[in-house]
Amino acid sequence: MKSKKELILETALDLFAKKGFNATSTSKIAKAAGVSEGLIFRHFSNKDGLLQSILDLGKERSVKLFEGISELELPADKLKYILQIPFNIPYTEYAFWKLLYAIKWQADKYDEEISNQLKSIVIDIFNQLNYPNPELEAEFVMMLFDGMATAVLLKDSNESEEIEKLLLQKYNIPI
Amino acid sequence: MKSKKELILETALDLFAKKGFNATSTSKIAKAAGVSEGLIFRHFSNKDGLLQSILDLGKERSVKLFEGISELELPADKLKYILQIPFNIPYTEYAFWKLLYAIKWQADKYDEEISNQLKSIVIDIFNQLNYPNPELEAEFVMMLFDGMATAVLLKDSNESEEIEKLLLQKYNIPI
DNA sequence: TACTTTTGTAAGTGATTACTCACTTTTAAT
DNA sequence: ATTAAAAGTGAGTAATCACTTACAAAAGTA
């Protein structure tokens, strides 16, 4: 059975992703979760603390999405795997990724950890592939990654599979 | 001399871009602009009306960024021009573009007009270039466009010129 | 000049905000 | 069974929210 703490976290993530952090009041969260408003502050101190807990949990889960990378041998396979991540975000994780990308634009709340983590993996890959400028090349991949993730998350696109194919093809990666 | 109406528009755009629409109160806008709060509502009816006016004015200005396209003859040149737009956003327009991209994630406020306008131009280009699937190819370019614009707007990157070169090169476009 | 419209202000409005506090209930350990 | 800690509640708080209203100054028009 779900604890009330978990219920608050889930409900808040849901509302934050849908309406935005600032447009979602703690009273609305409490009402939607069916708990008293005071309990939110008992568990998370304040609204920012609630957001941080949501982000931390999401990060833990997203690490698992990245774990598949290290199991691959060839750097080209690793790159392919990474480029495919935006198209393989589990539907249950949409809310978290939406929140993550929406928060990017709020200077004070933005958390670069996930992005930086992935970027250093990509730099390693381009090093292994002997690219002349691995750092720059990684920056470019991250840009692609964000563009794709945005497209997937915002339009519930029916053609995301075709875009995925097009991307791999443009990156000279066999499908 | 700047009218108080213009002053409100500029100040609000600035604050919306920096802190977000919901985190910026009308009283803060009034204080920052040095006008009475009531004047905001005299001119724009309500806070959403203020946002709409800001977006409309920004759209008018961004149309000028797109006008250069039609002056070019070759479709390949047009494509090159479009891919370069994110790197050529005037610094004075940063606030507007930041606001535009931030708002994307708020379902109720998102305005697709600029994006759709540009996309139809890109579809035409790929038609002229006889690509097998111009619609899909345009979707991909728009994704690239958004990814690049995001990167340029969020990091005050010193290496954006190098990324620009890398992009044109990857897209087989002579620099 | 006389009059109308537009622009502007100051002081409000009720509703909502994040958060606190005093208190009760539940859980868990001895 | 006793007790202490943790979980949970409901009714508060002052501050801030978007917005209104009554009125004054300025600008435009005849």
Model confidence at B174: pLDDT above 70: no
Q: Which nucleotides of C are covered by protein (CB under 7 A)?
A: 7-12, 16-22
User: Is there a contact between A143 and B148 if contact means CB atoms under 8 Å apart?
Assistant: yes
Chain B hits for A159, CB-CB cut-off 8 Å, are: 136, 139
Q: What is the dihedral angle through the alpha carbons of A163, A167, A173, A174, rounded to the nearest 10 degrees? A: 20
**CA pair distance B157, B159, nearest whole angstrom:** 5
Q: Which residue of chain B comes nearest to A172, CA vs CA? A: B170
**CA pair distance B94, B99, nearest whole angstrom:** 9
Residue A116 burial by Cβ neighbours in a 10 Å radius (0-12, 13-18, 19+): exposed
| pLDDT band at B159; cut points 50, 70, 90 | confident
Residue A19 burial by Cβ neighbours in a 10 Å radius (0-12, 13-18, 19+): middle
To the nearest whole number, what is the mean pLDDT of chain A? Answer: 92
Model confidence at A174: pLDDT above 60: no
**CA pair distance A156, A67, nearest whole angstrom:** 26
Give which of B36, B151, B37, B138 is closest to B89, Cα–Cα.
B151
Residue A59 CB contacts under 8 Å (≥ 6 apart), including other chains = A113, A114
pLDDT at position A18 is 96
Give pLDDT tens digits for A26-80.
999 999 999 999 999 999 999 999 999 999 999 999 998 888 898 999 998 999 9
CA terminus-to-terminus distance, chain B? 43
Domain B1-45 has CATH 3.40.50.10950: no
Tally A–B CB contacts below 8 A.
91
pLDDT at position B175 is 47
Higher pLDDT, A97 or B166: A97
To the nearest whole number, what is the mean pLDDT of chain B? Answer: 92
The sign one gets for the Cα dihedral B28, B29, B30, B35 is positive
Mutate to test the interface with A, among B83, B143, B157, B163 (most CBs of A within 10 A): B143
Amino acid at B144: L
| pLDDT band at B146; cut points 50, 70, 90 | very high
Helix (H, G, I), strand (E, B) or coil at B118: helix
Give pLDDT tens digits for A108-154.
888 888 999 999 999 999 999 999 999 999 999 999 999 999 999 99
| pLDDT band at A175; cut points 50, 70, 90 | very low
The sign one gets for the Cα dihedral B128, B129, B132, B134 is negative
